Structure 1
Amino acid sequence: MAVVIDLLKNDPRIRHPEKAHRPDQPVQLRKPDWIRVKAPGSPKWAETNKIVRDNKLVTVCEEAGCPNVGECWEKKHASFMIMGDTCTRACAFCNVRTGMPGPLDADEPLNIAIAVKKLGLEHVVITSVDRDDLSDGGAEHFAQVIRAIREHSPQTTIEILTPDFLRKPGALEVVVAAKPDVFNHNLETVPSKYLKVRPGARYFHSIRLLQQVKELDPTIFTKSGIMVGFGEERNEVLQLMDDLRSADVDFLTIGQYLQPTRKHHPVIRFVTPDEFKGFETAAYAKGFHLVSASPLTRSSHHAGEDFKKLKAARQSKLG
C-alpha cells in the first residue's frame, strides 16, 4: 500500500487548539481531504536523488517544496533550477530564499546535460531563480543549458520556465534563439493580487513577454500558469485566460496555492475540484490547446506527457 502523507496532521489548530487564531494573524484554513500527496522514498526516487546530488544540481522540486516530488522523482522526472538557489525577488508565495546570489557556475550547463543523459529523460524542464543582478537576467546561461542538453541528448525535448526578464532588453531574443520546445512563463495570479503576491513583477509585461515569443518563433509552444486561493474572483481568472489567449498562449495550468510557511501569503480559500473542472472547461472553450487544472497541478507536473498532448492538439487543429 502506498504511503500517504496526510497534510492535515501538521495543522497547528488540530494539535494545539489554543493556537487556532490570534488577532494579529490571519486564520489558517484547514486543508481539505483532497490535498494529499505520496511520500517520497521509493528505490527509483532514491536513484533520481543520487543523480541530482552527485551532479551538485538544484531542483525546483525541492527548493519550492513541490507536493509532487515523490511521484515525479519515482518516474525519473525532475525540474532543474539553474543559476543558484537564491532569488533577487521576494514573492509572497515562493519558498525559494531571497538575497544576493553568487556568481554563475560555468560548469552548470554541462552538469545539467550529464544528469539529463543519465536519467534518460525524454523531456526536461529547466527553470531558474530571478537574477535581476545580471545584465541579461541570465538569458545567455539559459541558452547555454539548452545547447548543452541538445549536444548530449539530442532526442530530449526541452521546456524552460523563465523569469520575466524585466528591464533586460534583448534577453528574450537570446533564449528564443536557442529554440526550446516549450517556453513557459507563469503569471502566478490575477493582476489585482500582484502588489501583495508578486510585487516585483508587472502583469502586462509578462503577457507581452509570452506574446513576443510567438512573434519571434511561432513554432515554440508557449505556456503559463497561475495559482488560485489568494482571494481572486472567478471573473478575474476568466479575464486572465482571455489575456493569455490574446497573446496566443497554448497551454494553461491552474493549481491550488499552498502556503509554504507562516511568513508567506495566507491561503484565503481552498478551491474545490469541481471549480477546477469548471476552469478547465472554460479554458478549453477559449481556445487553449491544453489545460491542466486541479488542486495539485504544478507547472512541471506531467510535463513530458503534456508535451506529447500539445503536439497532438496542434496537429489536430492544423488538420
Structure 2
Amino acid sequence: MVTIVDTLNRPQQQSEARPRHPEKAHRPDNPIQRKPHWIRVKAPTSPVYRETQNVVRENNLVTVCEEAGCPNIGECWSKKHASFMILGDTCTRACAFCNVRTGMPGPVDPKEAQGVADAVAAMGLEHVVITSVDRDDLDDGGAQHFADVINAIRNTAPSTTIEVLTPDFLRKDGALEIVVAAKPDVFNHNLETVPSKYLTVRPGARYFHSIRLLQKVKELDPEMFTKSGIMVGLGEVRNEVLQLMDDLRAADVDFLTVGQYLQPSKKHHPVVSFVTPEEFKGYERIAYAKGFLKVSASPLTRSSHHAGEDFADLRAARKAKLGH
C-alpha cells in the first residue's frame, strides 16, 4: 500500500472478533516506542471535520485518511480536504509498514467513480488526491478504474485539479498508459523506502520498477507533474536517502516528500529512529539543490498533506524555472 501510517487518530471501526491484520499474526511483536515531543497532533473536534466525515459516509466512500490512520486527518478534514481510496479497503499485498487490511478484495464497485466525483463536488474541493490499494488480482491492476474516476471528476467538478497516488502496476502491461492518458494533473507513486529495505519493508515491490514507472510517465507526457515520497526512520542511512534522491532526479521527478515512519501496531515494522526536525530540514535543502521543483520534508509530512497548496507551488516553480 502507498502511504505513511500512524495509529493516533485511527477510527474505531474494527470489532475484536475481526482483527485488522490476521496476515501479520505470525510476525513477532515489535514494541511501539514513545513518540518524541515534536510529533504531536490534536484529536479532531471541528464541526467541519464532522461535515467532511458525513459527506464521505453518505457517498459510501473509503479514504486513505482513515484506512492508513493518518495523523493529519483532524487538520485536513477540518479544512474539507480528503484523499479518497478507490478499489476497496483490502490490499493484495502485506507491506510491513502499512495499516491497510490485506486479503482478497471484493469486486470493483461500478458506482464508485461517480460517488467520488459527487463527493468532490459536494465538498467544493479545488484539488483532490485519489489513491488505491494494490489490486494484483485485476488484469490491469485497477488502472481503468483510476481513469474512470478521473473522468467522472472532470465531468462533475471540472475546475478541480486531480492528483493520483498509484500502486506500481507490477506485471500489468499497458496499465500505466491508461492512467496517464486520463490526464491527471499530478502522477504520484511512492518509493516508500531505500532499496536496501525493500525485502523487509516493501517485499511485494521492486525499487527499480518503481523508478522506471515514474520515468515512463514523463516519457508518455512530459508536461505531467510527477511526485514520489519516502518514509525515514526504518533503518536507512543518510547516504542511501541521498542516492534515492539522485535516482528520482534521473527519472525527472518533480516533487519529493519525506516523512517520519510511525509504527501502526506491534506486528508492523519497528521504528528504528526518530529523525529530528533539523535533519528533515537538511534533507529538504539537499533535495532542492539536486533540482526538485518542490520538496516537503518534516516529521508529519505525508503524500497528500497540503496537496492543494503544494500543487500551486509546483506550478509556480515550473513557471519560474521556464522564465514565464
Same-fold status (TM-score > 0.5): yes
What does the per-residue CA deviation read over 1:158-196, in whole Å, with 9 as the maximum and x for residues that have no partner? Answer: 000000000000000000000000000000000000000
Equivalent pair of 1:29/1:268 in contact (CA under 8 Å): no
What does the per-residue CA deviation read over 1:232-269, in whole Å, with 9 as the maximum and x for residues that have no partner? Answer: 00000000000000000000000000000000000000
Partner of 2:279: 275
Partner of 2:85: 81
TM-score, normalised by the number of residues in structure 2? 0.91
Secondary structure at 1:312 match in 2:
helix
Equivalent pair of 2:30/2:267 in contact (CA under 8 Å): no
**TM-aligned CA distance change 1:27 to 1:57, over 3 Å:** closer
Unaligned runs of 5+ in 2: 1-7, 10-27
Root-mean-square deviation over aligned CA pairs: 1.1
Letter in 1 for 2:140: D
Equivalent pair of 1:29/1:269 in contact (CA under 8 Å): no
What pairs up with 1:131-150 in 2 under 5 angstroms? Answer: 131-150=135-154
Quote how far apart the aligned CAs of 1:25 are: 5.1
Correspondence 1:193 to 2:197: yes
Q: Give the fraction of aligned pairs with identical amino acids, expressed as a percent.
A: 78
Quote how far apart the aligned CAs of 1:108 are: 0.3
**TM-aligned CA distance change 1:27 to 1:95, over 3 Å:** closer
Partner of 1:289: 293
Letter in 1 for 2:183: K
Equivalent pair of 2:92/2:136 in contact (CA under 8 Å): yes
Partner of 1:177: 181
Partner of 2:266: 262
Partner of 1:128: 132
Partner of 2:39: 35
C-alpha separation in 2, matches of 1:251 and 1:210: 11
Partner of 1:49: 53
Partner of 1:299: 303
**Match for 2:105 among 84, 90, 101?**
101
C-alpha separation in 2, matches of 1:207 and 1:25: 32
Q: Once superposed, which parts of structure 1, at least 4 consecutive aligned residues long, lie more than 3 Å away?
A: 24-28
What pairs up with 1:56-71 in 2 under 5 angstroms? Answer: 56-71=60-75
C-alpha separation in 1, matches of 2:212 and 2:267: 31
C-alpha separation in 1, matches of 2:298 and 2:263: 17
Secondary structure at 2:318 match in 1:
helix
Equivalent pair of 1:64/1:95 in contact (CA under 8 Å): yes
Unaligned runs of 5+ in 1: 6-23
Quote how far apart the aligned CAs of 1:30 are: 2.4
Equivalent pair of 1:161/1:183 in contact (CA under 8 Å): yes
C-alpha separation in 1, matches of 2:106 and 2:225: 32
Greater relative CO, 1 or 2 (CA 8 Å, sep 6+)? 2
C-alpha separation in 1, matches of 2:317 and 2:30: 43
Equivalent pair of 2:80/2:123 in contact (CA under 8 Å): yes
Equivalent pair of 2:29/2:266 in contact (CA under 8 Å): no
Equivalent pair of 2:30/2:268 in contact (CA under 8 Å): no
Partner of 2:17: none
Partner of 1:210: 214
TM-score, normalised by the number of residues in structure 1? 0.92
C-alpha separation in 2, matches of 1:126 and 1:112: 9
Quote how far apart the aligned CAs of 1:39 are: 1.1
Letter in 1 for 2:169: F
Letter in 2 for 1:228: V
Q: Which has the larger radius of gyration?
A: 1
What does the per-residue CA deviation read over 1:95-116, in whole Å, with 9 as the maximum and x for residues that have no partner? Answer: 0000000000000000000000
Secondary structure at 2:41 match in 1:
strand
Quote how far apart the aligned CAs of 1:27 are: 5.2
Quote how far apart the aligned CAs of 1:26 are: 4.7
Partner of 2:232: 228
**TM-aligned CA distance change 1:285 to 1:136, over 3 Å:** same
Letter in 1 for 2:296: S
C-alpha separation in 1, matches of 2:208 and 2:38: 33
Letter in 2 for 1:256: Q
Partner of 1:12: none
Quote how far apart the aligned CAs of 1:38 are: 1.9
